[in-house]
Amino acid sequence: MNDAHRPGFLSVSQYLALPRDRDVWLINPLLPVSGALLIYAPSKTGKSSLAIQLARSLSGEVPDWMGFPVGKIGRVLYLQLDTPRTTWAARFETLKHYGYDFNDNLVMLADRDSFVKYPLDVLRPDHIVYMRDLIQPLRANVIIIDTLRKVHTGDENSSTIMSNVMTSLVGIAHPAALVLISHDRKPQPDSDKDIMTDHRGSTSIVAEMDGVVRLTKTRLYYAGRSIEEGSIKMIRKDLDNILIWEPAPDEMDPMLIEILQDLTLRSMRAKARKLSVIQHISEEAAMSRVRRGLLRLPTYLAQQEAMKAGKLVLPHRFLSTTELEDEQGGLHVPEEIQCDP
C-alpha cells in the first residue's frame, strides 16, 4: 500500500491538531453535519409540512427549526416521492401567499416520474448508482427523502433488509446529511410512547439515526445521540388546508428556574448537584435537566414578560451550548437569566 494512502494513527494532540469544520451542527443538537435524522408521524398529521419548514431553516430562510438553532446552512435537496407534483406545487403557492418565502438553496425534485428508474429501489445496485450520479453533482448539505417507503421495495420489519437500505441511503447521500420522512406504526392518540421504538418497521432504522422526531397532533417528541428524550407542545395552524407548525409557549418547573437563576451556583455541575438533592434524582439526570433548562430559560422569561405586557408571545428557541459555556467550561449566564427571580 502506498504510504500516502495508508491509514494513519495519531496521538491525541496530533489528532486534535488536524483541520476540521468547527460548525458541526445543521440542527443543534438533532442533526450534525453528515448525520441522519428521522421524522415520523401517523398519516395526515402534517409531517411533510414539518419537513418543508425544516428545509426552509436548513436553506437559511429561518434561523431555527421549532426552537432548535440552525448551524451550517446551504443547499437542501428535497425528494418528494409521496405526492404528485401538481399537489405539491399548490402547497408551495399557498405558503408563499401567506408569506413563507423560499430561497434558491432549496432544490426540489421536478417530478418523481422524471426518474428513469422509478419506482426506486436502493436495494438494487443499479438504482444506487443511478441515484448517486443524480444527487452528488448538486453538492447539497442535506438530502430530505419524503418518504422512506418510496425508495425501497423491501420488508420494513426485516432488520437485515432495512440495515441494507440505510447503508445504501447513507452512501448515496454522503457527505450530505440525510433526513428521512416516515410513518408511525399506526395512527394513535397522543401518549408518551417510546419514540425510539414506535416507528414503523425495524429498529435498525432508528439505530442509524443521530436524531429522531415523532410528531403528533399536539406535540413534537425528540431524542438523539446528543440530547435526551423530550417533547415540545405544538400549535398547528391551518392555511387553506396546509398545516404549519409552531412551538407553543412552554412551562418550566419553578424550582428549576430558581436554581438556574441562583448566582451562587457558578457552574452547571453545582446547579445539578443541588437539583439532584431537592428532587431526589441522580446527578446525571439533574445535569440533563439543568442543561435543557438553560437552553430554554432566556426565551421562557421573555415570554413571561411579554404575556404580562399583553404582547405577542413568540415560539421558544433553544440556545446552543456554545452560547452557555465559555472556553474554560465555566457557565456563561446571559443577562436575562441573571436578573433576580
418547573: which residue's cell?
Answer: 253
Band of pLDDT at residue 252, cut at 50, 70 and 90: confident
Q: Is 6 a domain residue?
A: no
* 270 pLDDT above the threshold of 50: yes
Same domain for 224 and 172, yes or no, is yes
Q: DSSP readout, 209-228?
A: -SEEEEE-SSEEEEEETTEE
Instruction: Please give the Cα distance from 254 to 153 (Å, whole number).
Output: 51
pLDDT of residue 6: 55
* 317 pLDDT above the threshold of 70: no
Same domain for 163 and 264, yes or no, is no
CA 145 from centre of chain? 14
* 265 pLDDT above the threshold of 90: yes
Same domain for 182 and 122, yes or no, is yes
Residue 266: give the domain boundaries.
254-338
pLDDT of residue 35: 96
pLDDT tens for residues 65-120? 998 889 999 999 999 998 888 888 999 999 999 999 999 999 998 877 777 788 89
Same domain for 124 and 235, yes or no, is yes
Which has the higher per-residue pLDDT, 86 or 323?
Answer: 86
Q: Which of 34, 62, 76, 35 is nearest to 175 (CA)?
A: 34
How open is the CA angle 121-126-55, to the nearest 5 degrees?
55
pLDDT tens for residues 174-213? 999 999 999 887 544 444 456 766 666 678 899 899 999 9
pLDDT tens for residues 153-180? 999 889 999 999 999 999 999 999 999 9
* 152 pLDDT above the threshold of 90: yes
Q: Is 324 a domain residue?
A: yes
Full-model pTM: 0.73
Same domain for 176 and 212, yes or no, is yes
Query: What values do phi and psi take at 169, rounded to 5?
Result: -65, -40
Residue type at position 120: L
Number of domains in the chain: 2
Percentage, residues of the chain above pLDDT 90: 51
Among 189, 215, 247, the domain boundary falls at 247
DSSP summary character for residue 114: G
Mean pLDDT of the chain: 83
Q: Is 303 a domain residue?
A: yes
Among 247, 262, 290, the domain boundary falls at 247
Which has the higher per-residue pLDDT, 116 or 62?
Answer: 62
CA 161 from centre of chain? 25
Q: Is 1 a domain residue?
A: no
The average pLDDT across 262-273 equals: 92
CA 301 from centre of chain? 24
Which has the higher per-residue pLDDT, 219 or 307?
Answer: 219
Percentage, residues of the chain above pLDDT 70: 82
Whichever domain contains 182, its CATH number is: 3.40.50.300
Q: Is 290 a domain residue?
A: yes
pLDDT of residue 197: 63
The average pLDDT across 301-324 equals: 55
* 330 pLDDT above the threshold of 70: no
Least confident segment among 194-198, 217-221, 224-228, 230-234: 194-198
Instruction: Please give the Cα distance from 263 to 243 (Å, whole number).
Output: 43
Q: Is 47 a domain residue?
A: yes
pLDDT of residue 33: 95
The average pLDDT across 149-156 equals: 93
Same domain for 172 and 271, yes or no, is no
32 membership: H or E segment, kind and range: strand 31-32
DSSP summary character for residue 60: T
pLDDT of residue 37: 97
Same domain for 135 and 74, yes or no, is yes
CB 187 within 8 A of CB 42: yes
Query: What values do phi and psi take at 20, rounded to 5?
Result: -155, 155
pLDDT of residue 193: 56
What number of residues does the chain have? 341
Among 218, 247, 276, the domain boundary falls at 247
Same domain for 181 and 261, yes or no, is no
Same domain for 186 and 287, yes or no, is no
pLDDT of residue 307: 65
